[in-house]
């Protein structure tokens, strides 16, 4: 199960109440007030953790509450502060307020921490009200209420390359060939039901980068056909997109039309995605129709870099992997 969107109800701890107390000691008949302050309520803190894969935890436990502070006691004893509640989330998590719909915070870096809700301050005991004109105060204050709210957690995967294509174009096969991920592959549509993020290693350069494979798009994905296009959120942050096209046109498909339809679906979701650079992996070059279709594609789109590959024969896979790495290196050198 992969969960990338949840709604959670959160509550920080309330502050403890201040205490009204007077000394009752045999050797101090005029002991005076000694009520302590209440303890502070615990905070709700978000912790970015790269070892957390998704938001499944909050699907089954959609609420959390920090501990409240304890009340003050006599003999000038302050109440103990409430424990904080830590909520681990994966890098790329966006927190939105359900009340306003606005983005509250985004967590990107590992071990980044953010106080989402602050605990209430503890109340003051009667000792704090003692003065020259008020020697025996009988007043105290209750603790403040902790902040609360309902939030939507949305995961947007952080990767270097986002893989986009139609079902059965070879996305999962390519992911399995060049990364350590082991996605399901089968000769039917929608074998990929959730994003897969794999590590692509370049041994000769002692380097690596991340590639995100999302479920296949279909014509009309923006109208919720197939699996829809909500998974496109997982390639929003990718600096480079890799379109994988069935260049052989299996089952009567047209590679040029497939490419144009993928562009349209990205535009329907977010026009800014079209501003990102992309490469094309021309898959299934082992079939006889593929070379002719590749020539037609390059003739119509000469500015688009199309790299011929065959996932079935493992042909030119290393070349594609190195080309992706070269592009990312060039982009990093010229931000």
**Looking at residue 194, what is its pLDDT?**
60
**Looking at residue 220, what is its pLDDT?**
47
| Contact yes or no for 8/154 (Cβ under 8 A) | no
98: left (phi over 0), alpha (psi -120 to 50) or beta: alpha
β-bridge partners, 307 = 281
Question: How far apart are the C-alpha atoms of 183 and 163, rounded to whole Å?
Answer: 13
**Looking at residue 285, what is its pLDDT?**
95
| Contact yes or no for 268/229 (Cβ under 8 A) | yes
**Looking at residue 64, what is its pLDDT?**
96
**Looking at residue 133, what is its pLDDT?**
85
Question: How far apart are the C-alpha atoms of 176 and 311, rounded to whole Å?
Answer: 10
* Spans in the chain with pLDDT lower than 50: 183-193, 220-228
- Domains of the chain, CATH where assigned: 1-155 (2.70.210.12), 161-333 (3.40.50.300)
**Looking at residue 53, what is its pLDDT?**
84
Place of tokens 């909500």: 230
Question: How far apart are the C-alpha atoms of 55 and 4, rounded to whole Å?
Answer: 6
Question: How far apart are the C-alpha atoms of 113 and 15, rounded to whole Å?
Answer: 22
């Amino acid at each position: 199960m992969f969960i990338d969107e949840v709604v959670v109800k959160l509550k920080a701890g309330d502050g403890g109440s201040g205490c009204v107390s007077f000394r009752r000691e045999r050797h101090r008949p005029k002991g005076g007030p000694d009520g302590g302050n209440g303890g502070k309520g615990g905070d709700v803190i978000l912790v970015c953790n790269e070892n957390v894969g998704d938001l499944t935890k909050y699907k089954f436990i959609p609420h959390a509450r920090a501990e409240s502070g304890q009340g003050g006691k006599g003999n000038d004893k302050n109440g103990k502060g409430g424990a904080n509640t830590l909520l681990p989330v994966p890098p790329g998590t966006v927190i939105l307020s359900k009340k306003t719909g606005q983005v509250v915070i985004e967590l990107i870096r590992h071990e980044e921490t953010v106080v989402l809700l602050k605990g209430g301050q503890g109340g003051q005991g009667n000792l704090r009200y003692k003065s020259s004109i008020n020697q025996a105060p009988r007043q105290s204050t209750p603790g403040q209420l902790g902040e609360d709210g309902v939030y939507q957690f949305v995961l947007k995967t952080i990767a270097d390359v986002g893989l986009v294509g139609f079902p059965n174009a070879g996305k999962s096969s390519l992911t399995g060939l060049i990364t350590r991920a082991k996605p399901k592959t089968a000769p039917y549509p929608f074998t990929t039901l959730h994003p897969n993020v794999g590590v692509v290693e370049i041994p000769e350069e002692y380097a690596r980068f991340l590639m995100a494979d999302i479920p296949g798009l279909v014509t009309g994905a923006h109208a919720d056909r197939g699996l829809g296009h909500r998974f496109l959120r997982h390639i929003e942050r990718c600096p480079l997109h890799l379109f994988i096209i069935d260049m052989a046109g299996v089952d009567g498909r047209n590679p040029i039309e497939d490419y144009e339809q993928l562009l349209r679906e990205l535009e329907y979701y977010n026009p800014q995605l079209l501003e990102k650079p992309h490469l094309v992996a021309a898959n299934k070059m082992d079939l006889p129709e593929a070379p002719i279709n590749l020539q037609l594609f390059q003739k119509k789109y000469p500015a688009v870099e199309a790299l011929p590959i065959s996932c079935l024969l493992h042909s030119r896979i290393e070349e594609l992997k190195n080309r992706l790495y070269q592009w990312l290196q060039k982009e990093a050198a010229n931000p």
